[in-house]
Amino acid sequence: MTSLVAIGPQRRPGAEQKSRRSVGVHAFSWGDNPSGALLTGTVARSPVPAPVGLPDGTSAVALGADFSVALTSGGTVWAWGANDFGQLGDGTTTSRLSPVRVRVPGRVRAVSAGRHHVVALTTNGRVLGWGRNHLGQLGDGTTTDRSVPTFASTPQRFSALSGGDVHTLGIAGGRAWAWGGGSAIAGQAGPVLAPARVPLPADLRVRSVSAGAWVSAVLTREGRALAWGRGAGSAAQPLTVSEDAIAVSAGRSQVLAVMSDGGVAAWGTNSQGELGDGSTTLRRDPVTWRLPNGERIHRLDVADGHAVVLTRSGKLYCWGANRVGQAGVGPGPDQLSPTEITSLAGVRVAGFAVGHHHVFVLARQGPPVRLRVSLQNSTVRVNRPTEIRVREVDVFDTDLGPVNSAAVTVNGQPVHGDRFVVTAPGTYLVVARKGQLRGSLRVVTA
């Protein structure tokens, strides 16, 4: 899970801070947007995926409660959206409609966002944190909020991190560590201000961690998905969600695991259909289900009340809460079982992240939305053949390649082949169609 929080009253971001950045990575975003976390330049919700541009070189995103964070391949970090606790890491508490650079010392190789805080992993395994810290979720030994990154108070070197509602999980030496507040840490009632070992059974070695709101989860090297916290027992005696898992993700009070056969094991609260099993039944024991048509899950991410999966065939499905459009399928009721986001059919997905009420999908390319018509020569001459070229273009104006099956007309008359001849001077309208795609070009004879 990347975030967990209830969105408060709408508020508009303050004045933008000028920053040098270039937009070069394609993405789609949707869901709630009271402070500009969708990067659309507004604070309007989007119940369906909207194309946006991320900072150049973005390789991963992490989403909190109405704020978003981007990590670039060069190890820099950018953030935008709500900033009331300093979670944008720019030294202010001013919300932003466009990305500002986080003031991280050195290079970062991983980021994770919690409710109102962010944790990052440096290239040498040190932990940085910024944002809200009222229960010690930054791990710096204090309860002081931080508007710029600060190092956690630990000599440990970590290999992975996960930010939850008000706590953080990490992996060091093959063991799970935790800090922050709530029983989801290690059964402790009070806050833990610096990283502490989670008292899991001594024989367990941890491969990944996921911090939710009231629950935490780990995946062991043997493929066991384990959970503890509210309703799930203690860390010393964790609940087994699956004995044959390849991934695990924790939400508000639910845990979902991807099994090796591509199915899902789900446990916990389910009032909005967040378990994806077609019901709103609370599950005290894990329930298993599979996607339709034999689809196998490649990646899963769970948030406060909804979840998104990417299948091995490249399809995206979402289920759970949809009150503010976070399911990405348009306005409507909660989705009790996985629903394909058909508007993104054909998108080559590079990655995705799920926030409390919003989602980002990184795209290598978008679906084709129109045709681009051009001519071999810049001028058209009477009684001389002119070659027509037709190419598909995606929503980001990326050239997807030539189209050989388009129907082409010139002033309404069909063109056979890829050339046409005009017999009199004048203005000509060249139109190409392929299914629902269309493109046109108006030319004047020389």
Query: Is the model's pLDDT at 10 over the cut of 50?
Result: no
Give the per-residue pLDDT at 187. 55
For the chain, what is the radius of gyration of the CA atoms?
A: 25
Mean pLDDT confidence for 327-344:
95
Residue type, 81: G
Residue type, 355: G
Give the per-residue pLDDT at 94. 98
pLDDT tier at 365, thresholds 50, 70, 90? confident
User: Which has the higher per-residue pLDDT, 18 or 64?
Assistant: 64
Cα–Cα dist 184/142, whole Å: 19
224 close to 217: Cβ distance less than 8 angstroms? no
Mean pLDDT confidence for 8-22:
32
pTM: 0.87
Mean pLDDT confidence for 57-67:
96
418 close to 444: Cβ distance less than 8 angstroms? no
Instruction: List, for residues 118-143, the tens digit of each pLDDT value.
Output: 999 999 999 999 999 999 999 999 99
Instruction: List, for residues 159-191, the tens digit of each pLDDT value.
Output: 999 999 999 999 999 999 999 986 566 556 678
Sequence-separated (6 or more) residues with CB below 8 Å from residue 379 = 445, 446
Instruction: List, for residues 224-274, the tens digit of each pLDDT value.
Output: 999 998 877 777 788 999 999 999 999 999 999 999 999 999 999 999 999
**Mean predicted lDDT score pLDDT of the chain:** 91
Cα–Cα dist 86/25, whole Å: 25
194 close to 207: Cβ distance less than 8 angstroms? no
- List the CATH code of the domain at 23-365: 2.130.10.30
Structural domain 368-444, CATH architecture: Sandwich (2.60)
- Where along the chain do its domains lie? 23-365, 368-444
Instruction: List, for residues 387-407, the tens digit of each pLDDT value.
Output: 999 999 999 998 999 998 899
Cα–Cα dist 17/103, whole Å: 14
pLDDT tier at 17, thresholds 50, 70, 90? very low
Instruction: List, for residues 68-112, the tens digit of each pLDDT value.
Output: 999 999 999 999 999 999 999 999 999 999 999 999 999 999 999
Sequence-separated (6 or more) residues with CB below 8 Å from residue 41 = 97, 98
Cα–Cα dist 312/282, whole Å: 29
Cα–Cα dist 299/312, whole Å: 8
Query: Is the model's pLDDT at 334 over the cut of 70?
Result: yes
